[in-house]
Structure 1
Amino acid sequence: MALLTHLLACVFGTGSWMAINGVWVELPLLVNKLPEGWYLPSYLTIIIQLANVGPLLITLMYRFKPGMLNEVVVIYAVVGTGCLACFLLAFLWHYTTPVAGAPHSTAFLILTFFLSLVDCTSSVTFLPFMSRLHPCYVTTFFIGEGLSGFIPALIALAQGSGLANCVNVMRTDNVTAGNTTASNVTDEGGHFQTETQYSPANFSTLVFFILLTVIMVSSLVAFFFLSRLPKVWELSKQNLFSSEVTLNSFCMTPEDGQGAGSTGYVDGKPASSVKGSEAEKKATYSLSEFIFIYFLVAWVNSLTNGVLPSVQSYSCLPYGNMAYHLSATLSAMANPLACTIALLLPSRSLILLGGLTTTGTAFGAFNMAMAVMSPCPLLQHSDWGDALIVISWVLFTGTLSYVKVMAGVILRSQSHSALVWYAAVEQLGSLIGAVVMFPLVNVYSLFKSADFCSLQCPA
């Protein structure tokens, strides 16, 4: 039963950011087909943050009307909306309408807003629901949340979205004689021009979003069973994992507010076998430490959800569509890998988390620097440059994902409200990052785009 509960928690977690992660990894194809072009990632980032009205409303309800909010009902509504929006996106993503005299992918942007509303709201509803279960299941949930990026990345790799080649195309020169215009295709009247030609995807965008819809429905079904688990499965009153060393080592503190009968772990041992003062000491953090943890949460999420995603196209596309494709998909895979490492090698050391945050920020700074230098970044037209930008994006995502998971686990061990505020600070950091970047990209045009195959950069 414990393994089944872990499976349900994992599948449930995949629905948290599945839809938006799917849109991100599909961007290498979408930026070449939708009228927004290279601006599309920044549009997507600000739309996601506008959707924070959902978690803001939920957080205020938790604060001022805690008894009126039924988490189960909210989650059903949230995931159900995500399933419907994802299904509609499969058929309507390419429709455009004129706005202010220019074509815009209004259907895509509107449906993306609803998907964002779903995923952002999941941050303040899924985690509080998981707090009803044993802390071990929170880690499994985070693995599922990581898979919400890994699975779309695998689908995108299989699809081969956005791959392109540079080819020489013969262009004709028009020669006007009197009222007659003739097209010459001879060596004298024509010329070769290098153009970007995109390879057809192995399957369409419609199929891609249908597959995401199926996964969203699976998450809804998993939640249906998870919310109906027998009370004996809720590990707040008994120890079902005394023989599972790996999981026990991760469940280090008893639940706050659950009475003397609650079960937890300290250093891999049942809390009941540890002196009360020692267990309490393990679970206690000073005010300055709490401030530091919440600062890490806000900073990490501002970078991973707001600042860097806005300029990923400028950071990667100058190296070619293959580099962009691999950066988008492999960095999405780094998230669940970091969650798995957090499960096997957990560390609550705030010094280590601070160091990893600094390291991830350094990789993010490199990615930002390459975006600022677009369309002529370092080591362009070099295999080393292609490899470096992909590796930098993967390590940026991986290191900061580990920090996010461990910060969530630390706060989960404290109280339900600490986890709710974790989700709120997570969304606040993401919002700040997006709001800062949107005018820089779309209003002041500080980042320059260009066709990779026609770039004229100094050697």
Structure 2
Amino acid sequence: MAFLTHLLACIFGTGAWVAINGLWVELPLIVNDLPEGWYLPSYLTILIQMANIGPLFVTIMHKVKPGWLKEIIVIYTILILGIIALFLLAFFWKETTWIAGQLHSTGFLILTFFLSVVDCTSSVTFLPFMMQLQPKYITTYFIGEGLSGLIPGLLSLIQGVGMIKCVNVTQNENETLAWLNATDDYHIVTQYLPANFSVQIFLFLLSIMMVFCLVAFFFLTRQSQKDSSSTSLLQSMVTLNSYSTNDLSCNTGPSDQSKSTEDIIHNSETSSDNKVNYSWGHYVLIYFLTGWVNALTNGVLPSIQTYSCMPYGNLAYHLSAALGSMANPLACLIAMFLPSRSLMFLVLLSVVGTGFGAYNMMTAVMSPCPILQNSHWGIVLIVISWVLFIGTLSYVKVMIGIILRSKSHSALVWCGAAVQLGSMIGALVMFPLVNVYGFFRSADLCNMSCPR
């Protein structure tokens, strides 16, 4: 039964960000058919930040009217909304409309906004719900959340997203004089290879994953109800035992052998969760780390991954994306078997992860000609740097979740709010640098002229 619950928690976690992660890895195919082209990622970033209205509403309601907004109802609502939006997106993602004299992909943008609301709201609802289950299942949930990026990434690799070839193209300077053997202009262009299956099939697969998440959540709610019933039965047995002990000893005063139910339950949870008493300063540090780590992993670095990896070749980009996605669930497994609640260790690990992120940022700034570009060591270093960046900071995120889970339900809600705030700040900082000021330069693998 425990294994089944672990499996359900993992499947439930995959629904957290599978929709948006799937759209990000599918962008190299989508942009070729939509009028926004490569400006589409900037639109996607803005839509995700606008979708923070979902977690903001949940957080405010939790503060103003605690208990009024039931998490189970909210989760059911957003999961069903996600399934419907993905299903419709598979049919209408190419639909366009003329707005203010320009053609826009309204079908894709509108449905993507609803998917963003679903995924953003999951940050402040999924974790608090997991608190209703035993603490050992929360790490499994984080593994599933990591798989929400890994599985779409693997699907995109199978699909062949972004695979290119360099083709020689000949153009006559003057086509009217072609019969006179006019001078030919030879140049190389980058062409994307056709995918192994369509965008529509990819979106259907994502919707199926959301269906699995909904089914897993249904069974997890039943399991949480059983756990609540078991807890109530335990409280009744402890209370009955307390009264029996008092009667047998004929003691009218407080008995050392008969602790209150709350104390026994509290001590049991404390021993199982290894609770540590933190000061308010410690909690400020924990929430700061939460915002900082998520700003880097969800906002800053994803915006420049193509600039960081593509100059080293298509293989480096795909390895960084795929292995980086694998690093997330691997870090969750390590946290399960080798947990560390030391704040000093988590701060140190955050600094190390930030260092790897700084290296990735440096290569992006130097694009299209970063260091060690024409060396195999350059490929090895950039892939390792991205994997360790994601792995170290994922471990920090998991341990922060475990620490706050042992505090209270409210702590996890505010943890989700810190996740979204950090992600929003990171994205808003990078948006003008990438899309407005053109601070980063893309690399054309077929037409790069860098010194060797």
Global fold match (TM > 0.5): yes
1:213 aligns to 2:179 (yes or no): no
Shift of 1:97: 4.0
For 2:178, what is the secondary structure of its paired residue? strand
Aligned identity (percent) is 62
The question of whether the paired residues in 1 share the 8 Å contact of 2:132 and 2:224 is answered with no
- Rounded to whole Å, the distance in 1 between the matches of 2:375 and 2:144 is 36
2:354 matched to 1:361?
yes
Quote the residue 2:243 is aligned against: none
CA distance in 1, matches of 2:376, 2:96: 37
- Answering whether residue 319 of structure 2 is matched by residue 315 of structure 1, we say no
Q: What is residue 219 of structure 2 aligned with on the other side? A: 225
Q: Does the 8 Å contact 2:58/2:124 carry over to 1? A: yes
1:423 to 412, 416, 420: 416
Conservation of the 8 A alpha-carbon contact between 2:165 and 2:192? yes
Letter in 2 for 1:77: T
Determine the structure 2 residue equivalent to 1:401.
394
Contact 1:172 1:185 in 2 (8 A): no
Q: Which moved more, 1:119-128 or 1:370-379?
A: 370-379
How has the CA–CA distance of structure 1 residues 270 and 92 changed in structure 2, closer, same or farther, with 3 Å as cutoff? closer
Q: Which structure has greater helix proportion?
A: 2
Q: Note closer, same or farther for the CA distance 1:171–1:387 as it changes in structure 2 (3 Å cut).
A: farther
Contact 1:14 1:146 in 2 (8 A): yes
- Distance, in Å, in 1 between the alignment partners of 2:68 and 2:263 is 24
Q: Quick one: distance in 1 between partners of 2:334 and 2:233?
A: 27
Match of 2:380 in 1: 387
CA distance in 2, matches of 1:219, 1:457: 47
Structure 2 counterparts to residues 67-86 of structure 1, below 5 A: 67-86=67-86
What does the per-residue CA deviation read over 1:106-163, in whole Å, with 9 as the maximum and x for residues that have no partner?
3323222211110110011111111111111111111111111111122112112111
- CA drift of 1:37 comes to 4.3
Paired residue for 1:284? Answer: 277
Cα deviation 1:67-96 (Å, max 9, x = unaligned): 211111110110111111112222233344
CA displacement 1:301-330 (0-9 Å, x = unmatched): 011111111222222223333332332222
- Pairing 1:107–2:107 present: yes
Partner residue of 1:260 out of 257, 261, 264 = 264
Q: Which runs of 5+ in 1 are unaligned?
A: 176-180, 240-256, 272-278
Cα distance in 1 for residues equivalent to 2:169 and 2:223:
63
Which whole-Å deviations, capped at 9, do the CAs of 1:314-371 have from their partners, x for residues lacking one?
2222333333233222212221111111112111111221111111111111111122
Q: TM-score if structure 2 supplies the norm length? A: 0.87
**Distance verdict in 2 for CA 1:40–1:377, change over 3 Å:** farther
Mapped partners of 1:73, 1:387: distance in 2? 47
TM-score normalised by L of structure 1: 0.86
Cα pair 2:307 2:443 within 8 Å, conserved = no
Structure label with greater radius of gyration: 2
Change (3 A) 1:440 1:50: same
Q: Secondary structure at the match of 2:196?
A: coil
Instruction: Give the root-mean-square deviation of aligned CA atoms.
Output: 2.5
Aligned to 1:149: 149
Q: Secondary structure at the match of 1:260?
A: helix
Indicate the residue corresponding to 1:92 in structure 2: 92
1:29 CA drift (Å): 3.2
Aligned CA distance change for structure 1 residues 19 and 270 (closer, same or farther; 3 Å): closer
Provide the residue aligned with 2:165 in structure 1: 165
Q: Secondary structure at the match of 1:376?
A: coil
Describe the SS at the equivalent of 2:191.
Answer: strand
Any conservation in 2 of the 1:302–1:433 contact (CA below 8 Å)?
A: yes
Per mean C-alpha deviation after superposition, the further-off stretch among 333-342 and 31-40 is 31-40
User: Which sections of structure 2, spanning at least 5 residues, go unmatched?
Assistant: 235-260
CA shift at 1:43, angstroms? 3.2
Q: Which amino acid aligns with 2:190?
A: T
1:327 is aligned with what amino acid?
S
Query: Does residue 116 of structure 1 match 2:111?
Result: no
Query: Where does residue 183 of structure 1 map in the other structure?
Result: 178
Cα distance in 1 for partners of 2:100, 2:313 equals: 32
Deviates more, 1:41-50 or 1:197-206: 41-50
Residue identity opposite 2:19 in structure 1 = A
8 Å contact kept, 1:42–1:309:
no
Q: 1:157 to 1:264 in 2, by over 3 A?
A: farther
Seen in structure 2, the aligned counterparts of structure 1 residues 36 and 366 have a Cα distance that, compared at 3 Å, is farther
Contact map agreement 1:375 1:448 (CA 8 A) in 2: yes
Give the 3 Å change call, closer, same or farther, for CA 134–376 of structure 1 in structure 2: same
Residues 11, 455 of structure 1: alpha-carbon distance in 2 compared, 3 angstrom cutoff: same
Distance 1:394 1:270, change over 3 A: closer
327-336 vs 349-358, which moves further:
327-336
